[in-house]
Amino acid sequence: MRTVRLYFRLLGAHFRSLLEYEADFLILAAATVLMQVVNIVFLAALFAKVPALNGWTFWSVLMMFGAVALAEGVGSLFFDGMWSLAWQINRGQLDYFLVRPYPVALQSSSAAIGINGLSNIIMGAIMIGTALAHVDVAWTPWLALLGVVLLISSVVIKVSINLATNAVSFWLASPTPMFAFAMHQVGDLARFPLTIYPLALKAALGVVLPFAFIGFFPIAFLLDTGQSRWIGLLTPLVAAYCAGAAILIFKRGLRRYESAGN
């Protein structure tokens, strides 16, 4: 509990400094909203001419885009500091983190706040909400609860992949998180139904870096779309696996950390 409270105090400090630059905040928020609006226009224009993509309708694909936006948004708003891990390692800034009585990974991830995450969370929630209002799901209390669990799991998966890919910086020693950023971009492929891709990409997005569990598999289960829907039920397990793997990779990497020296 104390860990969580401290985490928000760390973030809060950055949030206050952010409010100093009101125009910047608005520009960034407007830009992310614009990006999502462009995505929605694209999907609407595409599905106006095509009824479905491998059984996936406009609303179900919109929901996948929304799930990815939401997971990304949580990653930016609450864990944006991960993206500066490479820089922190390169500059030897982890020295300070190591002497403080607080988990190093959390100190790193709270070192920045990505306010664009806020607009992504809102846009993602709107996309998911609108899609849910237009699809036919026989809701029961249990299914609703399961939906919430799946949503939380998908966010955990995205944040874990961010942590794991950024922790690779312990080995790469580059001052910019090139690898993590490239993987983040690959993750954008998973906004479309996995079934449209060739086998190698299916394996990459479903198993190696399980981006498909952020949107595709859990939504396929919820909306009863496509074959092997049961895989969506594995999402919480995949989330636990990703979180565990990310923490392990980070700890292994931290052991390799050498201060920059002063």
Partner 1 sequence: MRSYRALIRATARAALAYRLNLLLGLGAVLVQLIALLAVWQVILAQSPVNGFTWPQMRAYLLVAFAAGTVVSLMGDFRMAFRILDGDVALDLVKPIDYQRARFAEAIGGLWIEVVLIAVVVGVTLALTGGVDVPAGPGLALFIASMLLLVPLKFLIVYVSTLACFWTQNFMGVQWARLAVVNLFSGALIPLAFLPGWLATTAQWSPFAGLTSTPALIFLGRVDPGHGLVLVGVQLAWVLALWFGARLVWQAALRRLTVNGG
Answer for which of 9, 12, 16, 54 binds partner 1 (CB under 8 A) is 54
CB within 8 Å of 110: residues ≥ 6 apart: 7, 10, 11, 14, 79, 81
Structure letter (DSSP) for residue 208:
I
Provide the minimum distance between the beta carbon of 240 and partner 1 in the complex, in angstroms, as a whole number: 28
Nearer to partner 1, 42 or 139 (CB): 42
Measured distance CA(262)–CA(252) in Å, rounded: 24
Stretch that binds partner 1, among 68-76, 156-164, 175-183, 251-259 (CB under 8 A): 175-183
Binding mask 149-168 for partner 1 (x = CB under 8 A): --------------------
Provide the minimum distance between the beta carbon of 163 and partner 1 in the complex, in angstroms, as a whole number: 20
Nearer to partner 1, 146 or 161 (CB): 161
First-to-final CA distance of the chain? 35
Q: How far is CA 79 from CA 1, 17, 52, 171, in A?
A: 18, 17, 35, 21
46 scored as a contact of partner 1 (CB under 8 A): yes
CB within 8 Å of 84: residues ≥ 6 apart: 108, 111, 112
Stretch that binds partner 1, among 146-154, 160-168, 189-197, 230-238 (CB under 8 A): 189-197
Dig out the tokens for 195 from the structure. Answer: 């079934």
Q: Evaluate whether 39 touches 45 at the Cβ level (below 8 Å).
A: no
Binding mask 92-121 for partner 1 (x = CB under 8 A): ------------------------x-----
Dig out the tokens for 258 from the structure. Answer: 């050498």
State the residues that interact with partner 1 by CB under 8 A.
21, 23-24, 27-28, 30-32, 34-35, 37-38, 41-42, 45-46, 48-50, 53-54, 116, 176, 178, 181-182, 185-186, 188-189, 191-192, 196-198, 201
